[in-house]
Amino acid sequence: MKFYPEKYKIPDKPDKPFLDAEEIETFLNEAVSTEKEVVRIIARSLDKNRLTLPEVAVLINTTDPELVELIKQGAKELKKKVYGNRIVLFAPLYVGNLCANNCKYCGFKSSNSEAIRKTLTNKELIDNVTALEQNGQKRLILVYGEHKTYSPEFIAENVKTVYGVKTGNGEIRRVNINAAPLDIEGFRTVKESGIGTYQVFQETYHPEAYTWYHPSGKKADYNYRLTSLDRAQEAGLDDVGIGVLFGLYDWRFEVMGLVRHTNHLEACYNVGPHTISFPRLTDAADFKVDPQYRVNDDDFTKIIAILRLAVPYTGMILTAREPKHIRNEVLQYGCSQIDAGTKLEIGAYSEKNKKVTQNLNKEQFLINDERSLAEVIDELLDTDFLPSFCTACYRKGRTGEHFMEFSVPGFIKRFCTPNAILTLSEYIMDYSGQETASKGWKMIEKNIRELTDPKLEAEVRLRIEKIKAGQRDLYF
Ligand code: SAM
Ligand code: SF4
């Protein structure tokens, strides 16, 4: 995919800060939302263009309910047209909450003496991965506090351990990471262990707000964090995830920050972010955040629709911080990945018979969706989504698969849908109850019929028979 660089006040140079807060404010102050402009901008996105900052500012400044509805409809259409009905499922696995930083919003902050600190031992890591595999998970994101214990070598060892755990037909096929920013050498070490995406959220793109929320520790350095994914790129790790913690500063500024970060990566490395995350603040222990920037549900759904249109090629991740009704609504606006069966307490996945009640001294923050993986799958099927555990592109070396999904005609029908069907078939055979199985096979049949290529259809049917006969991990 070719990107067309735009000129902003601070020129884009690899590994150099790029965001000018005043420039972003100016775009926001100058953007005027008219029906004609909104319609033009939505059409440009549907035509598969990443939007410019001034265009995004127009969508942000749109408050007329009818035009906001147009934006949401545009996002729905883009999602349908480009991505179809697949939703990829994953689980977060918190490995350790030691932390040397003092982020005001996070329960893991070093000054929180009530926090019960824990790092999974190798055996505990294996037990937790085993439990996740027994539920049917295939994709994990490992999460860490920022601490010298969690060195690149430590993380790389964890990744190798996770890939080595096999439980019956269960295995983890993709491990992503959410941990502190590393230096180039560190990113190289972690990449070599075979990770998928490395996520670093800027939390807030506003420099002054950032400084206020991060008073001490390594994370206090705004620019070091801002350029962290440049260092990942320099290390050859081109699969990176960006994010904002909504609720720390004005959401309008943050959406612009995410798009500025996106076009910086495009301009310097010819690759945008693999995923964008948009967690909303939830309650945490020793929580010191003024509620003035809290994002309400209406603005939150609008933000997601705007981001979908602004960066039409990227994966969008929605987490269990959000309650079920919000998750169900915004899935339609283009979220492509959700976590399910999430437990944030360290080690809790392997405590099977214990009903884990959320406890702020043991968890980073509270979640609002405690459904099991089985329940989430059931509900996705009920609402006509196709649950997927696909990891094929990454393992076939088709890096930049989200760009291919987006820009190669027929890619989704040729690869993504068949792989979603095959991974759902595996799930049904190995983990689901009867009712889910019957809904699942119906959904599979419906999607096979929509493939519209008799040869491919026959091949998919053949592979399903092989899965029924006991073969696993068949993918296109
Ligand atoms: N410690 C590393 C860091 O700060 O980058 C790694 C990940 S941290 C455990 C994961 C993310 O959780 C943070 O980047 C932040 O966006 C989010 N988070 C922290 N406190 C939160 C809260 N109270 N509510 C929701 N999300 C929160
Ligand atoms: Fe530590 Fe990350 Fe929490 Fe900040 S957000 S206190 S760095 S775990």
pLDDT of residue 234: 97
Q: Is the pLDDT of residue 360 over 70?
A: no
Q: Is the pLDDT of residue 446 over 80?
A: yes
Mutate to test the pocket of ligand 2, among 95, 142, 146 (most ligand atoms within 8 A of CB): 146
Q: Is the pLDDT of residue 268 over 70?
A: yes
- C-alpha distances (whole Å) from 94 to each of 103, 158, 179, 331, 340 are 18, 12, 10, 25, 14
pLDDT in tens, 12-32: 999 999 999 999 999 999 999
Cα(47)–Cα(400) distance, rounded to whole angstroms?
Answer: 20
105 Rama sector, left if φ>0, alpha if ψ -120 to 50, beta otherwise: alpha
Mutate to test the pocket of ligand 2, among 94, 95, 98, 99 (most ligand atoms within 8 A of CB): 99
Residue with tokens 């933000």: 303
Cα(419)–Cα(476) distance, rounded to whole angstroms?
Answer: 6
Comparing 360 with 83, which gets the higher pLDDT? 83
Q: What percent of the chain has pLDDT over 90?
A: 79
- C-alpha distances (whole Å) from 309 to each of 38, 267, 305, 412 are 11, 19, 6, 19
User: SS3 for 7?
Assistant: coil
Which two three-digit tokens encode residue 120? 């999974």
Residue whose CA lies nearest to ligand 2 atom number 8: 145
Cα(75)–Cα(6) distance, rounded to whole angstroms?
Answer: 23
- Counting ligands in written order, the one closest to the CA of 110 is 2
Distance 54 CA to ligand 1 centre (A): 29
| Contact (Cβ atoms closer than 8 angstroms) between residue 85 and residue 384 | yes
| Averaged pLDDT, 119-129 | 97
Q: Is the pLDDT of residue 357 over 70?
A: no
Q: Is the CB of 245 under 6 A from ligand 2?
A: no
Comparing 134 with 360, which gets the higher pLDDT? 134
Site residues for ligand 1, CB cut-off 6 Å: 105-106, 143-146, 178-180, 200-201, 203, 245, 279, 281-282, 284, 321, 364-365
pLDDT of residue 445: 97
pLDDT in tens, 51-74: 999 999 999 999 999 999 999 999
| Averaged pLDDT, 455-472 | 97
Distance 100 CA to ligand 1 centre (A): 13
Cα(426)–Cα(6) distance, rounded to whole angstroms?
Answer: 45
User: SS3 for 149?
Assistant: coil
Q: Is the CB of 95 under 6 A from ligand 2?
A: no
Residue whose CA lies nearest to ligand 2 atom number 6: 109
- Of 83-92, 165-174, 408-417, 433-442, the one with minimum mean pLDDT is 408-417
| Averaged pLDDT, 300-312 | 96
CATH of domain 85-398: 3.20.20.70
Backbone CA torsion sign across 8, 10, 16, 22: negative
- Counting ligands in written order, the one closest to the CA of 215 is 2
Q: Is the pLDDT of residue 410 over 90?
A: no
Q: Is the pLDDT of residue 402 over 90?
A: no
Question: Which run of H or E residues covers position 458?
Answer: helix 454-468
Residue 79 phi/psi, 5-degree rounding, is -60, -45
Distance 103 CA to ligand 1 centre (A): 9
pLDDT of residue 367: 73
Cα(170)–Cα(162) distance, rounded to whole angstroms?
Answer: 12
Residue whose CA lies nearest to ligand 1 atom number 5: 180
Arithmetic mean of pLDDT over the chain:
93
| Averaged pLDDT, 152-163 | 98
| Averaged pLDDT, 158-176 | 97
Spell out the domain ranges in the chain: 22-79, 85-398, 406-468
What predicted TM-score, i.e. pTM, was given to this entire model? Answer: 0.95
